[in-house]
Every structure is written in structure tokens, then in C-alpha cells.
Amino acid sequence: MKRQITIVVLLLSALLVGCSEPEIPSPTDKPTGGEKPKPVLIARNLVSDSPIVSSNENGLAPLSLDYCYTSVVVGAVYENSRPYPDLYICGSGGLSPSSGGRRGLNYCEFWGTDSWGRLVYSHPKLITEMPWESDSAAIKIMKIGGKVYAIQATKTRLNVAPYDREKNSFGTEWAYSSKLTGLPYAANSFDFVLSSDGSSADLTVMCYTVASTSPESDYMEDSLYDSAGFYMGTIPEAAVYRTKIKIDTWAQDGEFKQVGMDNSVILGPTSIAQMKGEGWNGYIVANKAGALKYVASSALDVADYLVDTNGEQLINRSNVKRITAINADRDGRMDDFITSGEGSVWLYRYAGKCNSYGTPIYKPAELVMMTEGDLFSGSLTVPNVVDWDGDGALDVVTGNSEGRLMFFKNYGTDLNPVFGDGEYMTLWDSEFCIRAGYYELQGPMECCWGYLCPTVFDWNGDGLYDIVFSYNEGKYMYMPNVGTATAPVLGTPRTIYLDGMELYGVWRVRPAIARIGDRVAMMIMDTENALHLYWQTSDTSVTDGGKVYLTDGKGITGHNNREETNVQYGRGKLNFVDWDSDGDLDLLVGTIKRSSFPSPERGLPESRRVLGFTGMQVLLFRNEGTSAEPRYTYPEQFLVKGKDRALGAHSNAPVGCMLGDTSKGPNLLVGVESGRFMFFHRSDLSTAPIP
């Protein structure tokens, strides 16, 4: 199933967080001349069955919500005299609160700024009650008349609930609900802006005018692209409507009237925010292609792309679900904004000027941070544990769903690691990012995902670590290290070929790679979703080593097609490791919840899931053959202290690693959908066979 999907590599300005030196100044010291701040690092013990926590002083890490892979800022409220607002954040996707996650509404109090000037918030506090679906982000939280309210706008209703701080609750029922009339389409996004006297508010609603279309399955014959590569599905457009709301009664004051934007100006819309700066006001609109557009109130049929101070177009750092306007300097103007969704939360500061078209100019995006955080690498993280910078200590190099690479330097030792802030890795001098673009398998509305799945390995045999990777396209490439062992530099990606054609498999698979004797083996999931072995013949080519088999001679595939709706291809994260220390390489496979190894009819984790078990969705294939000619036993699913351990429904990317106490053999590190690195000591691990 050869996917005709193109790769878009966005070469963005590097945003390097953290530093390569352990000496540090006080966190109150401010960097000068563009110098990176040096982190204050504190040694923290590895704890089994826990994420690796931030070693930064105060546990500073990018703001995120534990086991949720989506964090949406739904409110920025000034609760006190601090210079920046507190945040209300809705977590969706991932584990429920009963499983240790923070899905639902969370409150984050403004804590201060770090040495780089980034906003820092307290660790999120889960709000116990709300009258809406716990993982819904279709609300706005704001302060009106000294009281905090949650507001929800649908096509036909305006719902309002006050916040009870003592009970930490918005209640279980809406306190007010009034009728809305005049919207011809369902509401996609809205903003609610109070008038200067507080007696009324502008309600601005952005609506889908056309429903989106997506393939019904991953089969190529169901593709929405024709033979020329043109998209045949629909791309939603947006129409924007505005009305007045009386605050005393929460009633609509007049009909909705369409704001004069041409619908085609806003394709694939996700969020809208009313903005106001000195001498300008209008709307900022985000869409699913990553665009940020400004529409002035004085010219509602014209949209201009936001640019930064270098004149470069601003591109959303991740898949943005919400733009939240904020008044960062308390001057009464809503001229800064926060973007949030899958991945990290970002702040865009107004640069204090507009371009010749009257469009506001913004400074480069800044990460929003939190205290008491974990190492965070973006959603669906795929880690490698290697000594990337050649200093004798194992680091972490990882990819994520945004299509970015991150490096976490270990300032400590393998036994007691001390990881610094994550750094976005660069291709030459620019931040590396791979995104799907227009030709994404699931259609252009999924174009912001890259699903980067890297394996760090000395691929070209020069003694330096390179990076071999797959991504949303299912194509395999490698980036050579053109630097040195202690100062690695990634060079231009090169395609890996099989018989003169690009090597393809199913998408979102991390290859397992190992040197066996004098040859290099690479295992992937091929276009039939089967485990398949290849042998390297040059830097850019492999030869076919055949499909991989169990000890009983049966093949190994990785999907579940018992039900048409459950067809899931690819997504497996493979890792070679001698888990049982017998001298032969075993295989670790990280799967998603709706997968089934070694076959659709009988396998893991699906066969245990239908019996009511969940598990961490990491499988062990023991090798009873040799490393060069493997024959695997039927898979076993890992348990933690004899019990199932839920880590999320999506990506589980395992790697056998030599971090911590390895006197009994390698331990297990698992990259999970929430962007955490879960550490498990092998003494806590056992396995469950296929039932």
C-alpha cells in the first residue's frame, strides 16, 4: 500500500531550551545578548512505574496535563494583582482522573517567570465538578463583575455557570441557560468579550459551513485523493456571526449578524479570538493547516497572515484547538495570545507595531512553563536512550506527533540521571520539523501531524550516532551525523531504498535496528502490516530479509480487523533488546489499544482487552532462534507488580535501557501519548500470555 504522500520539512527558527553546561546562575538572573539561560538542576531519583520528573529547579517543565495529550487553555483570568493571568485548562484525550490523569478542567495559578522570562504556572489543580462533558473544550472561562463564570455557546443555547472557589466546582447543572436564535450552522468556536461598562458582551461565533470528510479506513482504495494527487473530499469553510448578550439576564440582545468575512478566507477553522491593540482591533483565526490569520474589524473580507519580527509567517507550533487572547501587561488591551491543543502551550507577545497592511506583528513563540513537572516532549513521544553527546552518560532523543526531534541531556550518570530541559534538535542551523502537508493520508485537515518515529543508531558505520526514521508517510529515511561524537550535527535526510525504490511500510512505525555480526538488521512493519526484516547493503539501501515468524512457523501481523471500525494499521514501535540476557536479541513492541499481535484473530493486547483487561500495551517477543535468524515465541503483555497498568490508548514506545540499577539486566522506558517517559524497573515487571 504505497502512500502517495509528500513530506514537508519546515525549517523554522531554532528555539533551544536549556543548556549544555551544568554551572548555573541564580534563576533571577536575566540572560543578555540572546544567551541561553543555564539551568539550575537538582538530582531526582528514578522511581519505577512513574514518569521521569524534571530535574530543573522547582521542577520547571512545559505546561501540560499529566496523562492527557491535549491541553486547551479555555480561560485567562486575573484573580489578583499579579502581572499575568491565571489559566483554566481543559485536558482531553488520555487517561481519566480515576486512572491518574487530568482529563477535565484544571486550574493553574500564575507562579512567576523563569530566567528566560517565560511564564511559569503552578502545577494544575483538577476542578471537581462541571456541568459539561469533562473533556470538552467548547467553553470559555472569564471574570465578570468580580466573579468567575464558565460560558458555553451552542447553535441554540448560551449556558452559564459560576465558579465556587471554596468547593472548587462549577456545579453539575448550568445556573443560567438562554436561547440563541439566528445561527444557520453549528458552532465551531466562539469568543465572549465584555463591554467596557460590563453591562453587555459581544458573542462572536465561528461556524462550519461545510462538514469535513475523511476516509472510512486506511485502505488505499478509500483514499480521498485521485490519481493526480488532488484531494476529493470537502474542506470545511467558516462563517462568523456576532450578537450582543445582556449580562444581567444572559439573554440575546438582537439577532446574529454575519461578520463580513468571505467564507473562503478561513479554511479548516479551529479557533477564533477577538483582539485589540493600540490602534487596531479585529480577529485572529487559526486553522488546521497551522495558519494564523488576522482579520481587521475595518476590513472584514480581507485576511492577512500573522508574521514575526523577522517578517516570517507565524505557523502554529502544534495542532491548535484554541486561541486565547490575553492582556499580558494589564494595560486594557488584549493584544497577546496563547495557543494550545495537542502538544505544548505557547505564548505570542505583540511586538508593539503593525505591518503596512495594519496586521499586528508578533515576537517568536515562547513555551509556557509549570512547576513540579515531568520531562515533556510533546504528544505520542518515541524515545531512544543513547549517549548522544559522547560525554559518557545516557541521554534521551525522541520524536513526537508534531514531527519534531528533542534532546534531553543527562548531566548525571546512568545510575542516577539528571536530565536537563528538552532542546529542539536542528537540521544544520534550523529546527527540524516534518509535517504531513496537503497529501496527508487522512486528508488535508490532518496536515499538522508528522508522527516522527526515530531510531538512533550508527547507520553509516562511521562511529557516530545517526537517526533513522519513519513518519506519517510510512517512508524510511536517515539523517547522518556530520559533526563529531561530542558535538553532533544532523545532515540532510536521505531516503533508504529497496531494489531501487523507496522503502515503504505502514505509517507511524519506529524501526528496530541492531548490528548482528558484521551486518546491520532493520525490522519494520511492511505494507501488509507484517513484521519484516531487512539487511543493510549501503548507507541508502537494504535488501529483503523476509517476513518474521513465530516458533510454530506462523507470521506476525499487527492489527485487528474483527470489526470494520477497528481496522488499525501501523503504529507499532519496535525495539531490539536482549531482555532475558541469553545472548540473542528479543523484540519489544509498543502498540495501540486496538491492535492485535501476532494476528487479528488472536493476539495482544486486543484479546485481553475484550476480557476487560487494559495493560500498558507493551509486548515482549522472546527469541528462541538466533539474532540473525529470529524465531519468536507468542507475545506476552507486560504487567506492573502483577497488575495491568494503563498508559493511554495511543502510542506506547518502549526501549530497553541501561538507566538506573541494571544489575539484573535492562530496565524499561516507555514513551506514552501524553509526552512522558515512564520508567519501569525490571523487578516490577512480569508478563501475561495470550489468554
CB atoms within 10 A of CB 172: 11
CA–CA dist 65, 58 (Å, integer): 17
Neighbour order of strands in the sheet with 369-370: 61-62, 369-370, 119-121, 110-113
Please, are residues 73 and 89 in contact by the beta-carbon 8 Å criterion? yes
Q: What angle do CA 510, 438, 473 make, to 5 degrees?
A: 20
Q: Taking residues 559-578, what's their average pLDDT?
A: 78
Q: Taking residues 583-596, what's their average pLDDT?
A: 92
Give the residue carrying C-alpha cell 486506511.
218
E strands, 288-367, in order: 292-296, 304-305, 307-308, 320-326, 336-342, 346-348, 350-354, 360-362, 366-367
State yes or no: pLDDT of 318 exceeds 70. Answer: yes
State yes or no: pLDDT of 9 exceeds 90. Answer: no
41-67 residue pLDDT tens: 888 889 999 999 999 888 999 999 988
Residue 44: its pLDDT value, please? 87
CA–CA dist 29, 452 (Å, integer): 36
Residue 212: its pLDDT value, please? 64
Grouping H, G, I as helix, E, B as strand and the rest as coil, residue 435 is strand
Q: What angle do CA 618, 620, 624 make, to 5 degrees?
A: 170
When the pLDDT of each residue in the chain is averaged and rounded to a whole number, the result is 88
Residue 216: its pLDDT value, please? 59
DSSP string, 612-671: T-----EEEE-BSS-SSS--BPPPEEEEETTB-----SS-EEEEEE--S--TTS-EEEEE
State yes or no: pLDDT of 464 exceeds 70. Answer: yes
Confidence of residue 265 (pLDDT cuts 50, 70, 90): low
Residue 31: its pLDDT value, please? 36
| H-helix or E-strand spanning residue 607 | helix 606-609
**Ramachandran angles phi, psi of 449, nearest 5°:** -95, 140
Residue 35: its pLDDT value, please? 54
Residue 238: its pLDDT value, please? 85
Q: Taking residues 175-194, what's their average pLDDT?
A: 94
Question: How far is residue 619 CA from its own chain's centroid?
Answer: 23
Q: Taking residues 646-653, what's their average pLDDT?
A: 90
CA–CA dist 233, 241 (Å, integer): 26
State yes or no: pLDDT of 362 exceeds 80. Answer: yes
| H-helix or E-strand spanning residue 608 | helix 606-609
Residue 222: its pLDDT value, please? 60
Percent of the chain's residues with pLDDT above 70: 90
Confidence of residue 27 (pLDDT cuts 50, 70, 90): very low
State yes or no: pLDDT of 168 exceeds 70. Answer: yes
Residue 217: its pLDDT value, please? 56
Q: What is the pTM of this model?
A: 0.91
CA–CA dist 243, 253 (Å, integer): 7
Grouping H, G, I as helix, E, B as strand and the rest as coil, residue 121 is strand
Q: For strands 350-354 and 346-348, give the pairing.
A: unpaired
| H-helix or E-strand spanning residue 609 | helix 606-609
**Ramachandran angles phi, psi of 230, nearest 5°:** -90, 140
Residue 19: its pLDDT value, please? 30
List helix spans (H) across 300-413. Answer: none
Residue 10: its pLDDT value, please? 29
94-114 residue pLDDT tens: 887 777 778 899 999 999 999
Q: Taking residues 282-296, what's their average pLDDT?
A: 90
Residue 467: its pLDDT value, please? 98
The CA-to-CA distance between both ends of the chain, in Å, stands at: 32
Dihedral of the alpha carbons of 591, 597, 603, 605, in degrees to the nearest 10: -10
E strands, 196-287, in order: 200-208, 238-246, 251-258, 269-277, 280-287
CA–CA dist 528, 428 (Å, integer): 36
CA–CA dist 329, 277 (Å, integer): 12
Confidence of residue 6 (pLDDT cuts 50, 70, 90): very low
Q: Which positions ≥6 away from 246 have C-beta within 8 Å?
A: 199, 200, 252, 253
Residue 36: its pLDDT value, please? 57
C-alpha Rg value of the chain to the nearest Å: 25
Q: For strands 501-502 and 573-577, give the pairing.
A: unpaired
State yes or no: pLDDT of 383 exceeds 60. Answer: yes
Confidence of residue 21 (pLDDT cuts 50, 70, 90): very low
State yes or no: pLDDT of 610 exceeds 70. Answer: yes
Grouping H, G, I as helix, E, B as strand and the rest as coil, residue 265 is helix
Q: Taking residues 589-607, what's their average pLDDT?
A: 89
By mean pLDDT, which of 98-102, 183-187, 597-601 is the weakest?
Answer: 98-102
**Ramachandran angles phi, psi of 91, nearest 5°:** -100, 130
By mean pLDDT, which of 64-68, 263-267, 642-646 is the weakest?
Answer: 263-267
**Ramachandran angles phi, psi of 51, nearest 5°:** -70, 150
Percent of the chain's residues with pLDDT above 90: 67
Q: Which of 690, 507, 515 is nearest to 607 (CA)?
A: 690
Q: Taking residues 284-312, what's their average pLDDT?
A: 88
Residue 263: its pLDDT value, please? 65
250-259 residue pLDDT tens: 999 999 999 8
DSSP 364: P
State yes or no: pLDDT of 408 exceeds 60. Answer: yes
Q: What angle do CA 443, 342, 616 make, to 5 degrees?
A: 100
By mean pLDDT, which of 282-286, 482-486, 587-591 is the weakest?
Answer: 282-286
